Structure 1
Amino acid sequence: MSTLKTIAISVGDLNGVGFEIILKAHNQIKQLCNPLYCINYTMAHQAAALLHKQIPNDFHMYKVSGEFTIEAGKVSAECGRYSYDSFIAAVELARSKAVDAIVTLPIHKEAWKLAGIHYVGHTDALRDIFQSDAIMMLGCEKLYVALYTEHIPLREVASKIETDKLTAFLLLLHTATGHEPIAVLGLNPHAGDHGVLGDEERFIEEAIERANAQIGREIFIGPIVPDIAFTPRFRENFSMIAAMYHDQGLAPLKALYFDESVNVSLGLPIIRTSVDHGTAYDIAYQNKASVLSYMNAVKAAITFNVKDENHG
C-alpha cells in the first residue's frame, strides 16, 4: 500500500503556463506524492493537444465541470471561472480530508474579476472560506518573507499599520512556523529616521515589544531599515523577514530567488502551497516554462507539518 501523500493540484489559468508545468513535472511529482489534478478530461486533453503532448495513463483527475476554448495568453472570464472552480474543488478535497494538502498553479486576477469573483487571489479567498487571518509567506529555505499587507493599493498601507493587528500577525507567524529570529521591516525609508521620514515605526516597535513579551523571549527584531534587510550580511543572521507591504518584501525576494521560491498559506486548517510566479501569458504553450517553483511547492506541501496549519 502506498505511503505517499495525496496532493490535490488546482490547475490555475489554463490560458497560461500552469498545465504545461503540470505535464512536464508529472513523472517527477508522482515519485513524491499521489497527485490528483482538479480538471476534467475534455479540458485536460485540449490543453495537452496544444502542447503536442499526450495525457499519461497514470494522470488521475478529479472532475471539475465546465468547457471553453483555451486561448493562449488571453485574459478571459471563462478561464477565470474554471481556475476558481478548480481551486475550490481542491480546497473542498482538503477540507474533507480526501487529500493531505493542495498545491495551486497561478491564476490571473483580472480573469477572476471578469468572471465575477470578488477575491483578489487564493489567499484572500482562503481567509473568507475558513474565516481565518491567513498569512501569505513566500520564499525558500534560504529566505522566507511574510507579508503583513498584500494586494492593496500602496496609498492604503500606512493606515493599516496598527499595533493590535500587527501584534496578532507576528504571533501567528511565529506559531505557524516556529521560526526565530524574525526580522520585522519598518515602513518608511531609514525606518522613519526617528520620525523625520514618518512615524508608523512607533506602531511597529510597540507590536514587536508586545509579541516578544507574550512569547517570553526576543523573537522579533526591528523595525529594520528596509534597504539593508536583503543584503548578504543581513541574511547571514535572518532567514525570515516580515514585510509591511507586497513589493517591499517580494521585489527583493524575487530578485534573489525567483525560480526557487514557493508560496505558503499559514494559519489555516489545511495545507496550501503554490508556485511563486504568475500565469506567464507571454510564453504560454511554448514549452518554455520552468517547473522548479512547482516542484518546490509540492515538496513543501508534503513536508509541511499539519499542526502548523491548525491556527487561526
Structure 2
Amino acid sequence: MTTPLAISLGDPAGIGPEVILGAWARLRAERRAPPAFVVGGPGLLQQSAEALGIDCPIVPIASPEEATFASAVGLPVLALLEGQWNPGHPSQDGARLALASLQWGTKCALAGAASGLVTAPVAKGALAAIGWHYPGQTEYLADACARPYRDAVMMLAGPSLRTVPLTVHIALAEVPALLSVELIVHKARIVAAGLRRDFGIADPRLAIAALNPHAGEGGQFGDEEARIIAPAIAALQAEGIAAFGPVPGDALFTPRARAGYDAALAMYHDQALIPIKALEVDEGVNVTLGLPIIRTSPDHGTAFDIAGKGVADPGAMAAAIVMAAEMAKARAAASA
C-alpha cells in the first residue's frame, strides 16, 4: 500500500481516541501498521495519549499525501480539525467534531486520497441533536456514495466467522414480513461480489440461515423457509453463486459448519451478531460491502462509561485497520 487509510475520530467523549492510539501503538510495535492518518484532532489525541500513558507519537500533517512518510515517525493526524478531549461527557461540540471527521474522511476516500475509511464509533443520539438524520454511519456513507441504503450491506467479520444480517435495526416481530426472495438474492449478490473483490475469494460459499426453529420442520413452525428462503437459494444457485441452506440457526455456527462457508447470511440482527460477538469479541470488524469505497469499523460502540479509564481494548480497532488495508490490497489486485 502506498495510498494511506483514513481513520475518523468518532465521538471524542467515547473510547474512539484511545482505541485509535492503542491500536496504532500495537500495530507499530508488531510492524504491521499500514500507512494511515487520523482525520483531525492532533491536540486531542496528544492529550489522550499523555493522560493514558499510550506510547504513540502524534505527527500533525497538512494533507493525506504526507501520511505515508509521517507514519515512519508516529501516527499522522490531519490538522484541519481540533476539539476537546473530555472522556465520558458527550457534547454537541464533540458530535460536530465526529461528524466533520467522518465527512472529511469520506471525501478523502471518494477522491482516492485514502485507500479506505476506518470509522471509530459515534453516538447517534448526540448526532441527532445537531441535525443528523441517518440511522447510522453506514446509511450516511451510502448516501455520500450516491448508493441506495439497501446496497450498503453490513458484514461482521473476524478470524473464524463472517456474518451478514439481512434485516438490521427493526423489531423482531417485523422480520417475517420484510423477508422476500428479492431481498435475499439482492444482498447475497452484493456479499458474493464483495468477497471476490475485497477478500480475494474466487468462488464464495454462502450459507443461508433459516428463520424458524429446525428450518420450519416441514412447515410445522412456519413456512418462510419453503416459501421465501429456499426459492432465493435456488435463484442464487442458478446464477452460479455457491449458496446453500436454509440452515437451522442452532446448527449454523458450530466449528464444523463454519468450515463449510465463507459467509453466513442471517435473517435478523441478533442471529448474525450474537455468534460474531461470542466468538470474536475483541477482533470483530464491521465491514460495509456494496460501496465504491472500503469501509471498516470496530464492532463496538462509544462506551462512554469506560472512556478515559485506560481499560478499553484496542483489539477490534487494530483488526479494523488491518482488514481495511488487506481489502485495499485485494481490491487493487482485482483491478490490476
State the TM-score, normalizing by the size of structure 1. Answer: 0.89
Equivalent pair of 2:156/2:299 in contact (CA under 8 Å): yes
Task: Name the counterpart of 2:293.
Answer: 270
2:183 to 142, 159, 165: 165
Task: Name the counterpart of 2:303.
Answer: 280
Cα distance, 1:98 vs structure 2: 0.7
- Structure 1 residues 71 and 189, CA gap change in structure 2 (3 angstroms): farther
Structure 2 spans left out of the alignment, 5+ residues: 60-73
Task: Name the counterpart of 2:121.
Answer: 106
Amino acid at match of 1:130: C
- Structure 1 residues 193 and 282, CA gap change in structure 2 (3 angstroms): same
Equivalent pair of 1:270/1:306 in contact (CA under 8 Å): no
Amino acid at match of 1:276: D
Equivalent pair of 1:270/1:309 in contact (CA under 8 Å): no
Q: How does 1:2-151 map to 2 (within 5 A)?
A: 4-29=2-27, 31=31, 32-48=33-49, 50-51=51-52, 55-57=57-59, 58-65=74-81, 67=83, 69-132=84-147, 133-151=151-169
Cα distance, 1:71 vs structure 2: 3.5
Amino acid at match of 1:144: R
SS of the equivalent of 2:239 reads helix
Is 1:193 matched up with 2:194?
no
Cα deviation 1:35-61 (Å, max 9, x = unaligned): 211113443345445536675343322
Residue range with higher mean Cα deviation, 298-307 or 167-176: 298-307
Amino acid at match of 1:36: F
Cα distance, 1:65 vs structure 2: 3.8
Equivalent pair of 1:75/1:110 in contact (CA under 8 Å): no
- Structure 1 residues 307 and 220, CA gap change in structure 2 (3 angstroms): farther
Q: Distance in 1 between matches of 2:270 and 2:127?
A: 22
Q: Distance in 2 between matches of 1:141 and 1:85?
A: 32
Equivalent pair of 1:7/1:101 in contact (CA under 8 Å): yes
Is 1:292 matched up with 2:315?
yes
Equivalent pair of 1:185/1:222 in contact (CA under 8 Å): yes
Q: Distance in 2 between matches of 1:147 and 1:280?
A: 23
State the TM-score, normalizing by the size of structure 2. Answer: 0.83
Is 1:249 matched up with 2:272?
yes
Equivalent pair of 1:268/1:309 in contact (CA under 8 Å): no
Q: Distance in 2 between matches of 1:232 and 1:28?
A: 29
Task: Name the counterpart of 2:324.
Answer: 301
Is 1:181 matched up with 2:183?
no
Equivalent pair of 1:12/1:106 in contact (CA under 8 Å): yes
Task: Name the counterpart of 1:212.
Answer: 237
- Indicate the percent of aligned positions where both proteins have the same amino acid: 34
Q: Distance in 2 between matches of 1:283 and 1:194?
A: 48
- Structure 1 residues 17 and 56, CA gap change in structure 2 (3 angstroms): same
Cα distance, 1:11 vs structure 2: 1.1
Q: How does 1:221-236 map to 2 (within 5 A)?
A: 221-236=244-259
Equivalent pair of 2:153/2:290 in contact (CA under 8 Å): yes
SS of the equivalent of 2:286 reads strand
Q: Distance in 2 between matches of 1:106 and 1:181?
A: 30
Structure 1 spans left out of the alignment, 5+ residues: none
Equivalent pair of 1:76/1:114 in contact (CA under 8 Å): no
Equivalent pair of 1:267/1:308 in contact (CA under 8 Å): no
Task: Name the counterpart of 1:203.
Answer: 228
Cα distance, 1:223 vs structure 2: 1.2
Once superposed, what is the RMSD of the aligned Cα atoms? 2.4
Equivalent pair of 1:10/1:86 in contact (CA under 8 Å): yes
Q: Distance in 2 between matches of 1:306 and 1:82?
A: 30
Amino acid at match of 2:282: D
Amino acid at match of 1:223: P
SS of the equivalent of 1:145 reads strand
Q: Distance in 1 between matches of 2:208 and 2:34?
A: 35
Q: Distance in 2 between matches of 1:103 and 1:287?
A: 22
Instruction: Count the aligned residue pairs.
Output: 305
Residue range with higher mean Cα deviation, 301-310 or 264-273: 301-310
Q: Distance in 1 between matches of 2:14 and 2:125?
A: 13
Cα deviation 1:186-212 (Å, max 9, x = unaligned): 122222223322222221111111111
